[in-house]
Structure 1
Amino acid sequence: MPEHDEHQGKVAFITGGGRGFGRAFGAALSARGAHVVLADIDGAAAEAAAAELTAAGGSVTGVACDVADEVAVEAVMDEVAARHGGLDILVNNAGLHAAYNRPFTELGLAKVRRVLDVNVMGVVICSLAAQRAMRGRTGAAIVNISSSAAYANRSIYGVSKLAVRGLTVSFAREFAADGIRVNAIAPGLIFTDTVRAQLPEAEAKRVLGEQILQREGEERDIVEALLYLVSSKASFVTGETLRVTGGFALSV
């Protein structure tokens, strides 16, 4: 089967799909023939992204969904499974990022709890809700989005992404009997438009100075990692976290 046809007829559910990595993942999978559901707490953003990708020739729908709300998640997952006959790919991409990458004492308990609700419990809730719809489907795969911050753990953000790595291993073990592979991607500093606009120049230089590969990380680097992990090329890969960081934060 040609590489670009492998996901023809597959059904993919992407959280945090209204913008950023989520939208890029949706564009790549829909271009390869999958029907993509973009789920986002900002329903308008999800619908707008879906409309753009549909206009480009994809089969994409957008839905409003808070990954920390288990009732809402189950309802959306059940609707998708009923409409499309099941689910083949889940990308747990939704997360709280830069504004929460600060010391615990600066954030306060309410924000710390919200990070854990979204970044950790969101992965648990969505994975469990998707399990029934994915069980026994050829090539079924879950990909969680961790971060290079998981290897530094300087903040609740890093701790939450470390938890995502742990959940990836646990769910890989638990879902193996259902034929579902579970892996994660830990992106390093990826120079999206948002990062360019918000990241101080000094911080960008610091991270680039710690990378082994001296070029800026690009969105396509993470998209290519996702496409590998949900493909037949990765059929013997599960429970792993793939670091895509240009060699930043390496360890043995």
Structure 2
Amino acid sequence: MLSVRNVHVNYGPIKALKGVSLDIRSNGITAIIGANGSGKTTLLHFISGLVTPEEGDLLYEGISIAAWPTEARVKHGIAHVMEGRRLFKDQTVYDNLLLAAHFRTPRLEKKTITNKMEQVFQRFPILESKKHQPAGTLSGGQQQLLIISAALLSAPKLLLLDEPSLGLAPVIIDEVYSFLQELKQAGMTIFISEQMAALALRIADYGYVLDRGAIVKSGDSAYLKALLASDDLSSIYLGKGNH
């Protein structure tokens, strides 16, 4: 579905990405794993158009979109759930979802919106019980469920997730990852960034290891799990803990 080709991103003298190339396959989960500061967030920001590369290309369904602005990428089906749970925290849970539903398709019928909301609330009853509360009053885990749900309301073809487990209690992490597994089984294409390798590889089909801006290992999840178990990645990857 999406191919990153020889991408270089610099922040002044800092080389954040150094010739990164990878492929995100359709109808499954691809993981990018690596220690904090390895360049994972920069890579996702490049894919969603938030940073401009010094060099490289981005192919989406066979078309180069490297010059497309972020809003064009969203309207063509790329949704990005950023690290830090970026919500309109003064707005209600319902209004955050409503905005997301309209973003890609501005003129949705009321019945369609109602159906979309019902789907969210059936999956996460806690969001329905708090739908009139400001999003900023939710717990961290509830905010993560809200922002993933909001991203899905835009009916994306590709869902980018940056550190979805960050700062969450283990029971909430399990709920989030169970939901991602359901999305995978329904045919969603997902690209997930995680510091905790064992967590991401629990649901991923294929993965890449990023170290100081460069891809150093890649393979299916069984291969990468074996590397973790044998400590072959210990020198470059510090986030091996399991939840």
Q: Structure 1-normalised TM-score?
A: 0.35
Richer in strand (by share)? 2
Richer in helix (by share)? 1
